[in-house]
Each structure stands twice: as structure tokens, then as C-alpha cells.
């Protein structure tokens, strides 16, 4: 499932996805089904609007910058897998796959704790990112023995065959 995620130290925030053409109210702490913010949480987050052909249109908060991906035009942009967005100090990652790709490496912009060896990943260091829970792991910690994310159980695809298999099991969604 495609999604935008933001990982904080102790929780993961998914971006809001709006149903196509449905009118919605964006109220912090409101009862609307599209609101996922807890009390006291900053409601400024990018919003994903599904479009045909498995792409998403992005609606951006005013202070958002695109770090990786298409620049914003009038506050909107089309997203592609691996795009990164920053809102204030929060980094959102857009992902379209539901499994860990050891080849998909990113430079982390802040210190994070690797759940495999419980050691720090330094800012600027390359790490592999779990697209489901948003946690990062050292490149060297993704050994062939590691079959899934230790935080959320997201499977690791060590080969292209396995990636194909996982894509098919997930209902053929990208």
C-alpha cells in the first residue's frame, strides 16, 4: 500500500489519505475518519489524494519542502516511490512497497536507533529503511538471516524473486 510515513522516536505517524472526490473536514482532533492526529499533535502533515493508475497527488502544508521528488507547483505535486518531504523538522517518506528492500538505502538526517543491534545510526550514515514502520537499520545489519523487521514484522526481500512473491501476496499492489 502506498503511504507517507514519519517516524518519531516512539511512534509512527502516517499521512492522511483522502478518498477521491469525497468532501472532508480537516479538523485537528475532529471525528472525521481522515484525521489521525492524537491530542496535542501537530496537524500539519502532507495529504495524499489517490489518483487513477496508482499514483498520488500531494497537498502540501505551507511550510513543506520537497527534499527528493518533483518540486511543488501551487502547493501540489505528484509523488513517486522514494520521495521525501520535510514539514518543519519532520521528514516524511513516500513509499509504494510493503517489504524491505536491502538495496534501498538512504542517508539518515538525524540519529536513530537500529532495532537489530540496538546501536545508533549517525546522521549522514546510509541505512535501510522499513517502509511499514519507518525505522532505519544499518546496512550491515540486513544479513540474509534477517527475514523481517524486528519492530513490525515487515518482510525483507533479499532477492528479486522474493520481492515479486511479496508483491503478489499483497494483492498485486505496488
Shortest CB 41 distance to Zn ion, Å: 21
Which one of residues 152, 165, 167, 170 is an interface residue with Zn ion (CB under 5 A)? 152
Shortest CB 59 distance to Zn ion, Å: 27
Shortest CB 136 distance to Zn ion, Å: 9
What is the residue-wise DSSP string for 55-82?
Answer: EEEEE--TTEEEEESSPPBTTEEEE-TT
CA 165 from centre of chain:
21
Cell of 57: 497527488
Q: Does 138 bind Zn ion (CB under 5 A)?
A: yes
CA-based angle 127:108:151, to the nearest 5?
A: 60
Cell of 58: 500531494
Stretch that binds Zn ion, among 24-32, 38-46, 66-74, 139-147 (CB under 5 A): 139-147
What's the half-sphere exposure (Cβ side, CA atoms, 13 Å) at 162?
Answer: 13
Q: Does 150 bind Zn ion (CB under 5 A)?
A: no
Q: Which residue has the cell 513490525?
A: 152
Stretch that binds Zn ion, among 20-28, 55-63, 72-80, 125-133 (CB under 5 A): 125-133
- Nearest to Zn ion of 42, 117 (CB atom): 117
Shortest CB 55 distance to Zn ion, Å: 24
Number of neighbours of residue 64 by Cβ within 10 angstroms: 21
Positions in the binding site for Zn ion (CB under 5 A)? 114, 116-117, 130, 132-133, 138, 141, 149, 151-152, 154
Amino acid at each position: 500500500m502506498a503511504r507517507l510515513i514519519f517516524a518519531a522516536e516512539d511512534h509512527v505517524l502516517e499521512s492522511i489519505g483522502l478518498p477521491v472526490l469525497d468532501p472532508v473536514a480537516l479538523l485537528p482532533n475532529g471525528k472525521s475518519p481522515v484525521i489521525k492526529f492524537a491530542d496535542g499533535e501537530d496537524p500539519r502533515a502532507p495529504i495524499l489524494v489517490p489518483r487513477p493508475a496508482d499514483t498520488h497527488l500531494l497537498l502540501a502544508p505551507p511550510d513543506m519542502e520537497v527534499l527528493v521528488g518533483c518540486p511543488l507547483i501551487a502547493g501540489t505535486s505528484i509523488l513517486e516511490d522514494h520521495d521525501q518531504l520535510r514539514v518543519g523538522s519532520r521528514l516524511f517518506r513516500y513509499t509504494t512497497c510493503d517489504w524491505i528492500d536491502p538495496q534501498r538505502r538512504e542517508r539518515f538526517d538525524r540519529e536513530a536507533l537500529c532495532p537489530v543491534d540496538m546501536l545508533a545510526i549517525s546522521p549522514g550514515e546510509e541505512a535501510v529503511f522499513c517502509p511499514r514502520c519507518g525505522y532505519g537499520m544499518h546496512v550491515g545489519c540486513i544479513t540474509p538471516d534477517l527475514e523481517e523487521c524486528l519492530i513490525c514484522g515487515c518482510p525483507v526481500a533479499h532477492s528479486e524473486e522474493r520481492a515479486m512473491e511479496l508483491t503478489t501476496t499483497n494483492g498485486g499492489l505496488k
